[in-house]
Amino acid sequence: MDQLMLIADPQMTDAYSYGRTGILQYMTEFYSDLYMHRNYRYLLHKLDPHAIIFLGDLTDGGREWDNQGWKKQLSRFTKLFETSTPTYYMAGNHDIGFGDGIKPSVARRFTSAYGPTNYILNTTHYTLVVVDTVSLSASIPQLRKDVESFLDEPLPDKPRILMTHVPLFREDDVDCGPLRQSVKGGIRQAKGYQYQNLMTKELSQQLLERIKPVAVFSGDDHDYCIVRHKYGKQEMAAEITVPTFSMAQGVQYPAVVLLDVSDDLTTKLCWLPNQISIFIGYGCLVGLTLVALIVKHLYGWFRMRRPPLKQSLEELPVPRWPRQQRSLKRTILAWAKDVRDVATVGVAIYVFCLIFI
């Protein structure tokens, strides 16, 4: 298990995402699901990872659904990301809540479907330590006890990699590097209903001192970020925040990270297409097609209405047949027929591609 594909924040769009209803909500879910499903299949084929790790926030409204609605979302998620490749999951704040906002019943149903939220993965050369940092951020002892018990256990004597949903603390002026898409440049601490952008400084240092990682991987922020943390006397650990996997979570280019944990630890950032710009391109092509058909039919209409040229006395008479005048209404109807014909072919090809590609 040397090549791991890290997927962060698929945050499957649902009724709690944008407050949309009806056909608009259906279309939003359909196209965001289609985007993730197709890219997931392609990445499995192209990268052929040995295992997959989801870094939390599997669904957008996971913590809000009642049990019946949650089961439907679970079934939907399972179909989207179906694979025989070993897959591991982490809990995010959209899955179970954050800190004191976590409901034990919601956390239990998550673990019943996806497995424990704190665990260790051993590879040949490294140990991955997966920590439920959304629960660790609670002040209520009952919510923290499982993760604290996990952190008290002895760790394997291998180089360690810390996996956390919430990024570790850094100062506001720390830059995330040139590959970040946001113009703000870094992740700044902020918190609100069921979220916090960064772990607290104290908890971050505790995790670094306890686990002593050589690298850290996180999610939650939706954008790429790489920073370096100092801890202990001279230890350093680079943290990579993996971008969202969804086209609907505020970044132009979603991505995954391919983590190679063979002898030398390496990462590869794999960008996904900008689906919104593709949709805009479709819209522009539709607009150009409509304009071209309008120009074609208006040209024909004006040409039919143009008076015939007068003959001079020196010219031999040329027989002329009376022009058949076309009304504007007939021109519009002819244009509409052409639009229908073009649309029929275009839609048929599009539906074929949706079904078979």
pLDDT, tens only, 44-83: 999 999 999 999 999 999 999 999 999 999 999 999 999 9
Where on the phi/psi map is residue 212: left (φ > 0), alpha (ψ -120 to 50), or beta?
Answer: left
Reported as a pLDDT band with limits 50, 70 and 90, residue 319 is low
142-146 CB contacts, 8 Å cutoff, 24+ apart:
142/104, 143/99, 143/100, 143/102, 143/104, 146/117, 146/118
Per-residue confidence (pLDDT) for residue 317, from 0 to 100:
63
**φ/ψ of residue 5, rounded to 5:** -95, 120
Split at pLDDT 50, 70, 90, the class of 286 is very high
Q: For the domain with range 3-273, which CATH number is right: 3.30.420.40, 3.40.50.2300, 3.60.21.10, 1.10.760.10?
A: 3.60.21.10
Nearest to 96 by CA among 131, 140, 54, 61: 61
Indicate the SS3 state at residue 201. Answer: helix
The pLDDT of residue 322 is 57
CA-only gyration radius of the chain, Å: 29
pTM over 0.85: yes
Q: Among residues of the chain, what percentage have pLDDT more than 70?
A: 94
**Range from 44-58, 304-318, 324-338, 340-354 carrying the lowest mean pLDDT:** 304-318
Structure-token pair, residue 55: 């870094």
Section 291-301 average pLDDT: 88
Residue written as token pair 């084929």? 45
Average pLDDT, the chain: 93
What local confidence, expressed as pLDDT, does residue 233 receive?
85
Place of tokens 């074929």: 352
pLDDT in tens, 85-125: 999 999 999 999 999 999 999 999 999 999 999 999 999 99
pLDDT at 305 over 80: no
**Residues in CB range of 219: below 8 A, 6 or more apart:** 8, 9, 55, 56, 57, 90, 92, 165, 241, 242, 244
Whether residue 281 has pLDDT greater than 60: yes
C-alpha 244/C-alpha 253 separation (Å) is 9
Q: Is the pLDDT of residue 323 over 60?
A: no
pLDDT (0 to 100) of residue 315: 60
What the block records as the tokens of 216 is: 């850290």
Contact present, 243 and 254 (Cβ < 8 Å): yes
Banded model confidence at residue 328, pLDDT cuts 50, 70, 90: confident
Tokens for 79? 């179909």
**Lowest mean pLDDT across 11-15, 227-231, 316-320:** 316-320
Residue 174 has pLDDT above 60, yes or no: yes
Domain residue ranges of the chain, discontinuous segments joined by + = 3-273, 277-308+323-356
Q: Is 200 left (phi over 0), alpha (psi -120 to 50) or beta?
A: beta
**At residue 312, does pLDDT exceed 70?**
no
Closest-CA residue to 220 (of 9, 2, 4, 6): 9
Cα(6)–Cα(52) distance, integer angstroms:
6
Per-residue confidence (pLDDT) for residue 331, from 0 to 100 = 84
- Asked if pLDDT for residue 318 goes beyond 80, the answer is no
Quote the CA–CA distance of 72 and 178 in Å, as a whole number: 40
For residues 181-206, average pLDDT? 95
CA distance 103 to 93: 11
pLDDT tens per residue across span 138-158: 999 999 999 999 999 999 999
* pLDDT value, residue 324: 58
Count of C-beta atoms within a 10 Å radius of residue 339? 14
Rounded to an integer, what is the distance from CA 348 to the centroid of its chain? 28
Rounded Cα–Cα distance for residues 63 and 104 (Å): 11
Q: How far is CA 99 from the centre of its chain?
A: 24
